[in-house]
Structure 1
Amino acid sequence: MTPIHVVGIGLDGLAGLGTKVQAIIETATLLVGSDRHLQLIPQGETPRLSLGDLNATLKAIQAHLATTPDPQVVILTSGDPLFYGLGRWLLEVFTPEQLTFHPHLSAVQLAFSRLKLPWQDAVIYSAHGRDLAGLVPLLQRGVEKIAIYTDGEANIAAISRLYQALRLPVSYCAWVCQALGSQDEVILPWDLAQPVMEPPPLHPLNLVVLLRQPQRLPLREQPVLGLGDDQFFAFGDRPSLMTKREVRVLALAELALTSSIETVWDVGAGTGSVAVEMARLAPQATIYAIEKTAIGFQLIERNRKAFGLTNLIPIQGAAPQRLSGLPQPDRVFIGGSGAQLLANLDYCWSHLKAGGRVVLAIATLEHQGQVLQWCQTHQISPQVLHVQLSRSVPLGQGHRLHPLNPVTLITLSQG
Structure 2
Amino acid sequence: MMPVQVVGLGLDGAQGLSPVLQSLVASAKLLVGSDRHLAYFPDHPAERLSLSDFHSALAAIVRAAEAGVSPIVVLTSGDPLFFGFGRVLLSHLSPEQVAFHPQVSSMQLAFSRIKVPWQDARLVSVHGRSLEALTQALQQGAEKLAVLTDPTNSPGAIARLLTSLDLPWQYDLWVAESLGGEDERVQQWPLAAAQQTTFAPLNVVILLRQTQAPVLPTALPLLGIPDVYFASFADRPGLMTKREVRVLALGELALPADTIWDVGAGTGSVAIEMARLGPASQIYAIEKTAAGVALIEDNARRFATPQVRAIAGRAPEALEGLPDPDRVFIGGSGGQLQPILSVCRDRLRPGGRVVLALATLEHLAEVSAWSREQGWHQRCLQVQLARSTAIASLTRFTPLNPITLVTLTRSEPSPL
Question: Would you say same fold, with TM above 0.5?
Answer: yes
The answer for the alignment partner of 2:414 in structure 1 is none
Q: Does 1:100 align with 2:99?
A: yes
**130-139 or 291-300: which moved more?**
130-139
Give the direction of change, closer, same or farther, for the CA distance of 1:235–1:342 in structure 2 (3 Å limit).
same
The answer for the alignment partner of 2:36 in structure 1 is 36
Q: Does 1:222 align with 2:220?
A: yes
Shift of 1:66: 4.8
The answer for the alignment partner of 1:282 in structure 2 is 278
Matches within 5 A, 1:206-221: 206-215=203-212, 216-221=214-219
**280-289 or 243-252: which moved more?**
280-289
**356-365 or 161-170: which moved more?**
161-170
Shift of 1:74: 0.9
Shift of 1:197: 4.0
Amino acid at match of 1:407: I
Shift of 1:62: 3.5
Segments of 5+ residues of structure 2 without an aligned counterpart are 412-416
**Which contiguous aligned blocks of 4+ residues in structure 1 show a shift greater than 6 angstroms?**
none
Contact 1:178 1:185 in 2 (8 A): yes
**280-289 or 367-376: which moved more?**
367-376
The answer for the alignment partner of 1:326 in structure 2 is 322
Question: Matched residues, percent identical?
Answer: 52
Q: Distance in 2 between matches of 1:13 and 1:306?
A: 53
The answer for the alignment partner of 1:265 in structure 2 is 261
Secondary structure, counterpart of 2:81 in structure 1: coil
Contact 1:217 1:230 in 2 (8 A): no
Q: Does 1:310 align with 2:306?
A: yes
What is the TM-score of this pair, normalised by structure 1? 0.94
Secondary structure, counterpart of 1:314 in structure 2: strand
Shift of 1:121: 0.6
Segments of 5+ residues of structure 1 without an aligned counterpart are none
Amino acid at match of 1:73: I
Q: Distance in 1 between matches of 2:268 and 2:330?
A: 12
Q: In the TM superposition, what whole-angstrom CA distance separates every residue of 1:120-161 from its partner, at most 9, and x where no partner exists? A: 011111111123222223222322211111111212211211
Q: What's the C-alpha RMSD, in Å, of the aligned pairs?
A: 1.6
Q: Distance in 2 between matches of 1:165 and 1:148?
A: 18
Matches within 5 A, 1:86-97: 86-97=85-96
Q: Distance in 1 between matches of 2:194 and 2:7?
A: 38
Q: In the TM superposition, what whole-angstrom CA distance separates every residue of 1:44-86 from its partner, at most 9, and x where no partner exists? A: 211101102222112322343355x543211111111111001
**Residue 375 of structure 2, aligned match among 373, 379, 393:** 379
The answer for the alignment partner of 2:147 in structure 1 is 148
**Residue 342 of structure 1, aligned match among 332, 338, 345:** 338
Shift of 1:377: 2.5
Q: Distance in 1 between matches of 2:360 and 2:43?
A: 65
How many residue pairs match? The answer is: 410
Shift of 1:334: 0.2
Contact 2:177 2:185 in 1 (8 A): yes
The answer for the alignment partner of 1:79 in structure 2 is 78
Q: Does 1:254 align with 2:252?
A: yes
What is the TM-score of this pair, normalised by structure 2? 0.94
